Amino acid sequence: MKRLSVVALLLALFVVPGVAQQKSPGALTPQIETILKSIKAADKGLLAVSEEDGRFLRVLVAMRNAKSVLEIGAASGYSGIWLGLGARESHGHVVSIEFDPPRAKEAADNIRKAGLTDVVRVIHGDAFAEIPKLQGTFDLVFLDAWKPDYKRFFDMVYPRLDPGGVFLAHNVVNKASEMEPFLKTIQTHPGLFTSVVSPGSEGMSVSYKLR
**What is residue 23's predicted lDDT score, i.e. its pLDDT?**
65
Split into its structural domains, the chain has a count of 1
Contact, 204 vs 170, CB < 8 A? yes
Residue 188 lies in a domain: yes
Q: How many CA atoms lie within 13 A of 155 on its CB side?
A: 10
- CA within 13 Å, CB half, 97: 21
What gap in Å lies between CA 3 and CA 199, rounded to an integer?
9
Q: What whole-number distance in Å separates Cα of residue 122 and Cα of residue 106?
A: 10
Provide the pLDDT for residue 26.
85
**Measured CA distances, 80 to 18, 25, 83, 121 (Å):** 24, 16, 5, 9
Asked if residue 24 lies in contact with residue 15, where contact means CB atoms within 8 angstroms, the answer is no
Report the C-alpha gap between 87 and 111 in whole angstroms.
13
**pLDDT computed for residue 199 by the predictor:** 86
pLDDT tens, per residue, the chain with 211 residues: 344 444 544 544 444 444 344 568 888 899 999 999 999 999 887 788 999 999 999 999 999 999 999 999 999 999 999 999 999 999 999 999 999 999 999 999 999 999 999 999 999 999 999 999 999 999 999 999 999 999 999 999 999 999 999 999 999 999 999 999 999 999 999 999 999 999 878 999 999 999 8
Residue 94 included in any domain: yes
Residue 144 lies in domain: 2-11+49-209
For residue 199, is it within any domain? yes
At 131 the pLDDT is 98
DSSP class of residue 147 equals G
Cβ-based neighbour number of residue 13 at 10 Å: 11
> What pLDDT score was predicted for residue 71?
98
36 in any annotated domain: no
Return the pLDDT at 44: 82
CATH number at residue 158: 3.40.50.150
pLDDT score recorded for residue 188? 97
C-alpha span between 209 and 211 (Å, rounded): 6
User: Domain for residue 41, yes or no?
Assistant: no
Residue 16 lies in a domain: no
Residue 151 lies in a domain: yes
Cβ(73)–Cβ(100) below 8 Å: no
Alpha-carbon separation of residue 20 from 28, 115, 140 (angstroms):
12, 20, 25
Query: Global pTM?
Result: 0.88
For residue 206, the surrounding DSSP H or E stretch is: strand 204-209
Q: Answer yes or no: is 24 within a domain.
A: no
Quote the pLDDT of residue 105.
97
Alpha-carbon span 184 to 203, nearest angstrom:
16
